[in-house]
Chain A
Amino acid sequence: MAARTRLPLLFPKNLPPFRNQKLVHTEAAVKEPAYPPIVHSVTAKSKSALRQKALQHVQKICASPVEEKLSLVTRIQRKKFVVYPQSFARHADRWYQHFTKTAYIPGLPEKFTLPAGDESSPPAAVPGIEDDAFADLRSMVTRVILQEHWHIKKRKPFMYREQEQVVGPMLRNLVTGLTYSLAKHNPLFLLSSLDVNPQVNFYWRRGERIIPRGHRRGRLEPTRFQIDDHPHSQIRITQQLPQFTPLEASYAAEVPEITTAPNMMPLFRRQYDNNIFTGAKLPDPACYGHTQFHLVPDRYHRDRMARRQESDQVEVFLRANGLASLFAWTGAQAMYQGFWNHEDVTRPFVSQAVITDGQFFSFFCYQLNTVALSVETDANNPRKNLLWGTESLRLYEGVKDGEVVGLNDGVIKLLVQFLMNQP
């Protein structure tokens, strides 16, 4: 450059200010673009026009408030796979993991202490609960169990209605009793809402397929899924629970990949209203989830499955149930905050669930790290959702002569720890 600039013969003493614009600590003046950006036209009959239309639709959804976002995302009705959380299909949990991009981690996060198998050492006290309070809770649990199984004079429950008629009221009493007793230890519960038999719905898109027959043959179509879940009860709170692990920790997790179509699971398609619902409408202040309680369906019998040598499917069923229900709930919570497929969550959403059939309790924790599950957004998305779960733990052995035999303190402690989870 120096060779090209012609210096005057008489070198002036006051040099003009720096002519070289490429200095580090000065910035070139930012020029406002004089014309709007050139985009592909929307009205032409071309592939770029289709892409532009899709892009403009996405931008429109991003720019609108939350209610409009929800209604725009769930507006068009098309055939979709209806995912039932309580499914008797074999290996249902692997399929559901693939649909929701979830990795399963056996055991619970470090916050919770699992009750050890058959150790005789007394369980360590729950932080925040003294022994007297724990003894009160223990007596309340025995009272609830005895009420349903011993004190009430009941006829034998109708066929396949035992869960609804016996375990349902017991769980309701247990949940209400526990939340009431723990309200003084956990200030969240003072402003929380306990729903009885709520509805939780979620709608999302995951993979793609080429339409084999019909007037749209040969075109790509995203596979749509819908979960309609009816948990027994759930607790919704006003603040969000803290995350179990940071987002980056989920990058290393493994999600099973399944190449066959969801039809083979077996899973069936239907077309009806796409719903996204946490259990309460949008303006409700208690929009974050805390714990869900699920009852096992009446046709699920461990002993029958053991007789048919299907003992491994017992745990598979519970895991699939926890996974689907919690994914639907956390996903709906995230949508209520305005995060959707193209706007991924900035903070992880966390919820817990307890699935029980009266005697056996299984505990699940779910961390939603990503909602971007459709093909275009999932291409470079290293985040995965995480599910922690336990095997089913027995709460009590039986009821004899007005006494509960073999009450497992570890399970009660774990229940209490679950409910005491607060930010």
Chain B
Amino acid sequence: MILTLGNPQLRIFRPNWFLTLVRPGREQPPDTAQFRIPMEMTKYDVKNYLEKIYNVPVGAVRTRIQFGSNKKRNHLNQKVKQPDYKVAYVQLAQGQTFTFPDIYPEKDQVVAEGSMEEMQEKFMEDEKQRQKLDPRRGGVTEWFGL
């Protein structure tokens, strides 16, 4: 919470705020993590939140507000607003680095024996093989010849 002059510093002990760690759209330096934070949070709030609740040493925090577009229209031609959100770029202290992990890694398809997928794959392979030319012709087309 921001300190206003004359009033005592407000302290929150059980904040109702939740941070979302997101993958950065642009390439960020290795010590930077990107969060989506509620609009009411400030840089100092983010720093205290991460340091006290999660024990993450925070160096510097920079925030910006992303405007959600108001351009799209629905079937009634009314403008549909996408919500605005605040983004925080948190630079970690003590030389720590962070890279956003790969949440959806590609799995190697291991096809089970005797199942539909295996038959389909075999069929597709046979079709592709039929489309290819005779290998004995050595890449020459079939336009001419017998």
Would you call A258 and B59 a contact (CB within 8 A)? no
Indicate if A346 sits at the interface (CB-CB under 8 A).
Answer: no
A260 within 8 A of B: yes
Q: Which of B14-22, B26-34, B126-134 is near enough to bind chain A?
A: B26-34
Q: Which of B26, B27, B32, B93 contacts A310 (CB 8 A)?
A: B93
Across the interface, do A90 and B60 meet the contact criterion of CB distance under 8 Å? yes
User: In the complex the two chains form, what is the Cα distance from A90 to B62 in whole Å?
Assistant: 12
Known: A90-B91, A266-B62, A310-B93. A261 touches B27 (CB 8 A): yes
Question: Which among B27, B57, B59, B91 is the interface contact of A260 at CB below 8 angstroms?
Answer: B27
A258 CA / B30 CA spacing, docked (Å): 10
Q: Are B28 and A260 in contact (CB under 8 A)?
A: yes
Q: Which of A89, A264, A309, A310 contacts B28 (CB 8 A)?
A: A264
Please tell me if A77 contacts chain B, counting CB pairs below 8 Å: no
Question: A258 and B29: CB pair below 8 A?
Answer: yes
Nearest Cβ on chain B to A135's Cβ, whole angstroms:
46
* A260-B28 Cα distance, complex, nearest whole Å: 6
Smallest Cβ distance from B133 to chain A, in angstroms? 38
Asked if A26 is at the interface (CB within 8 A of a chain B CB), the reply is no
What 0/1 pattern do residues 9 to 50 of B give for CB contact below 8 A with A?
000000000000000001111011000000000000000000
Q: In whole Å, how far is A89's beta carbon from the nearest beta carbon of chain B?
A: 8
Complex CA distance for A309 and B60, rounded to whole angstroms: 11
Collect the chain B residues with CB atoms within 8 Å of residue A89's CB: 60
Write the nearest CB–CB distance from A211 to chain B, whole angstroms: 14
Q: In the bound complex, do residue B59 and residue A310 qualify as a contact, i.e. CB atoms below 8 Å apart?
A: yes
**In the complex, A261→B27 CA distance in Å?**
8
Q: Which residues of A contact B29 (CB under 8 A)?
A: 258, 260, 264-265
Nearest A residue (CB) for B32: A264
A20 at the interface (CB under 8 A from B): no
List residues 327-384 of chain A with CB under 8 A from any CB of chain B.
none
Does residue A259 face the partner (Cβ distance < 8 Å to B)? yes
Report A232-272 CB contacts with B as 1/0, cut-off 8 Å.
00000000000000000000000000111101111000000
Provide the residues of chain B in CB contact with A91, threshold 8 Å: 31
Q: Residue B93 contacts which of A260, A264, A309 (CB distance < 8 angstroms)?
A: A309
Measured in the bound complex, the distance between the Cα atoms of B62 and A89 in whole Å is 11
Task: Give A90 to B29 CA distance when docked, in angstroms.
Answer: 11
Chain A residues with CB under 8 A of B31: 90-91
Bound-state CA distance A264–B29 (Å) is 7
Considering only CB atoms, which chain A residue lies closest to B59 in the complex? Answer: A90
Docked-complex contact A309 and B57, CB < 8 angstroms: yes
Interface string of A270-301 (1 = CB under 8 A from B): 00000000000000000000000000000000
Binding site for B on A (CB under 8 A): 89-91, 258-261, 263-266, 309-310, 313
Q: Which 10 A-B pairs have the closest CB atoms?
A: A260-B29, A90-B59, A90-B91, A260-B27, A264-B29, A90-B60, A264-B28, A266-B62, A260-B28, A309-B93
Given A264-B29, A313-B59, 20 other A-B residues pairs in contact with their CB atoms under 8 A: A89-B60, A90-B59, A90-B60, A90-B91, A91-B31, A258-B29, A259-B27, A260-B27, A260-B28, A263-B26, A264-B26, A264-B27, A264-B28, A264-B32, A265-B29, A266-B62, A309-B57, A309-B93, A310-B59, A310-B93
**B contacts, CB < 8 Å to A:** 26-29, 31-32, 57, 59-60, 62, 91, 93
Can you spell out 12 A-B residue pairs with CB atoms less than 8 angstroms apart?
A90-B31, A90-B60, A90-B91, A260-B27, A261-B27, A264-B27, A264-B28, A264-B32, A309-B57, A309-B93, A310-B59, A310-B93
